[in-house]
Amino acid sequence: MARRQRSPPALLMPLSSLAIAIILSILRPAAATASAKQSWLDEFTTDGEVRSDFDRSGKQVASLVLDESSGAGFNSTQKYLFGEFTVEMKLVPGNSAGTVTSFYLTSGEGDDHDEIDMEFMGNSTNAPTVLNTNVWASGDGKKEHQFYLWFDPSADFHKYAIIWNPTNIIFRVDDVTVRVFRRYDDLPYPTSRPMAVHATLWDGSYWATEKGKVPIDWSAGPFVVSYRGYTANACVAAADGGGGSTCPAGKNEWMQREEDDTDRLTVAWARRNCLQYNYCEDGWRFPGGFPGECSRE
């Protein structure tokens, strides 16, 4: 007797169709989000090898690559006069000694330029990473505070922020204020030169790790650092350079942002536990006397 061909159980076909429908419903929004969402990297020009992709959450990730032939970076097409600038970064893993990763603002390369820096100096495997913060005003710099980060910045993304207004500059790590640079009317402060946003990864062997004692080990390369979640809530400077800026209505709380009690507590904590260099304590560097703001902090 011929064997009857059994049909699939009636329940299997609806379940299979349902599973496909569920998978498609998950994939469609993710794909639509990635394609429809404006790329923040479109606001920048790039140098060197810059890779762009989207992570599982739909955030665009821009990765800079450093090898023996070239570093990499991206630079904003707009300039700003005051604002809050944030980005999430995942730094070079393993032996990153000699590398320098940055997120900073600058008005240009002239002798009288303004600049606000967050620079991450690579280090040997398992050694802490140093965050170098600095401010330049009218070409006057040498105002570094350097901190050991209290976490592994290569294991995951962490948020870094620069708040810049006419009163002070606030440096933040994962929403923790680590430094406040105040304005004093009789001392240089960046108030009038619009600045562009830059991010770079480069060979800083001559300076970065233990004052240049530990160079890059190119056998560990290429080195990669990733950025995501960039925002610039800021006043956009006039494109013609004729002065003036357009500020975001209703979204400029940062313009009045000053050091509050919580900031004072976290700055004190960072000084006690993480600060490893303070220019206001480097008498060898300033034999003629410390900069004016040092006696007022």
CA 135 – CA 180 distance, rounded (Å): 11
Which among 43, 49, 68, 115 is annotated as catalytic? 115
Residue recorded with tokens 């350097």: 146
Which among 84, 119, 259, 293 is annotated as catalytic? 119
Residue recorded with tokens 């592994």: 152
Please report, for residues 59, 85, 230, 239, 282, the alpha-carbon distance to residue 137 in angstroms, rounded to integers and kept in the order given: 34, 18, 25, 22, 20
Structure-block tokens of residue 7: 């049909």
Whether 115 is catalytic is: yes
The SS3 assignment for 26 reads: helix
CA 16 to chain centroid, in Å, comes to: 46
Contacts made by residues 156-159, CB under 8 angstroms, sequence distance 24+: 156/90, 157/88, 157/89, 157/90, 157/226, 157/228, 157/229, 158/88, 158/89, 158/90, 159/86, 159/87, 159/88, 159/229
Nearest to 48 by CA among 35, 64, 29: 64
Q: Are 273 and 150 in contact (CB under 8 A)?
A: yes
Catalytic positions, written as ranges: 115, 119
